[in-house]
Amino acid sequence: MADTTGEGAGRTALVTGAAGGLGRSFALGFAARGYRVAVADVNVAGCAETAHLIRDRGGPTPWHGELDVTSEESTRQVAESVAAFGDGRIDVVVNNAAVYGAVTRSPLEEVDPAEWDLVMDVNLKGPWMVVRACSPFLPEGGRVVNLSSATVYSGSENWLHYVASKGGVIALTRVMAKELGRRSITVNAIAPGFTLTEASYGLMDNAEEYGVDRTALRRAGRPDDVVGAALFLAGPDSAYLTGQTLVVDGGRQFV
């Protein structure tokens, strides 16, 4: 059941890439705290399923719809629709949409330029387009949470375009924090380590053991670990925190 008296009560959170995986976990986690959640993704059927799960678990009635984060028209339409759903406000934006599981791992000399463009469009241009469209509806005290990756700090080999795109998200976050800070809006990033989502399980057979020996906590990351960080950055306890990147990887990277 949703906590209708918690910090999310009366607040609207837009979660992109919410048709499954970590995005679905964000949507469910925010709904459980009482947020009115807007579920957006290019995968319309997956969005509807996430919205159904929110209703099944007693969360506030969600909004769901199609979103192409690389499209000016799509981001504008979704921002306007979500603002109407939120009584004229979008209190929290969680920029989760990304190309991840489908990215081809290959040496830098073999990266397909077309795939490079796709990864940059979705992973780096996308968060900018979403915030650009939502900006008129972000109130004083609004929150933006961008998803980067701990791979930026490890420099994962044979993943140049993905790592570069997520490094760009950190830079994007810092500039957004400066510009939107004038309106008392905070912008922070989360850099998750390897997290057990559907996409991660699809990458390898031993996902639950991958990299565990290199973490301080000696266990694999779970979606709830990352959701908790996002709820903190969206809530009142992080009001004086902005432009920062929170690494959530069980102590594999110390930055």
For 251: left if phi > 0, alpha if psi spans -120 to 50, otherwise beta; the answer is left
Catalytic: which of 35, 153, 162, 240?
A: 162
Quick one: which of 60, 64, 76, 61 has its CA closest to 14? Answer: 64
SS (H, E, C) 133-186: HHHHHCCCCCEEEEECCCHHHHCCCCCHHHHHHHHHHHHHHHHHHHHHHCCCCE
User: Which residues have a Cβ under 8 Å from the Cβ of 71 and sit 6 or more positions away?
Assistant: 129
Q: What is the CA radius of gyration of the chain?
A: 17
Phi, psi of 197 (to 5 degrees): -110, 175
**Does the annotation count 162 as an active-site position?**
yes
Burial group, residue 139, by CB count within 10 angstroms (0-12, 13-18, 19+):
middle
- Tracing tokens 């020996």 back to the chain, one arrives at 213
Question: What is residue 100's three-state secondary structure?
Answer: coil
User: Tell me, what amino acid is at 187?
Assistant: V
User: Which residues have a Cβ under 8 Å from the Cβ of 45 and sit 6 or more positions away?
Assistant: 19
Instruction: Let me know the angle formed at the C-alpha of 63 by 61 and 64, rounded to the nearest 5 degrees.
Output: 130
Active site residues: 162
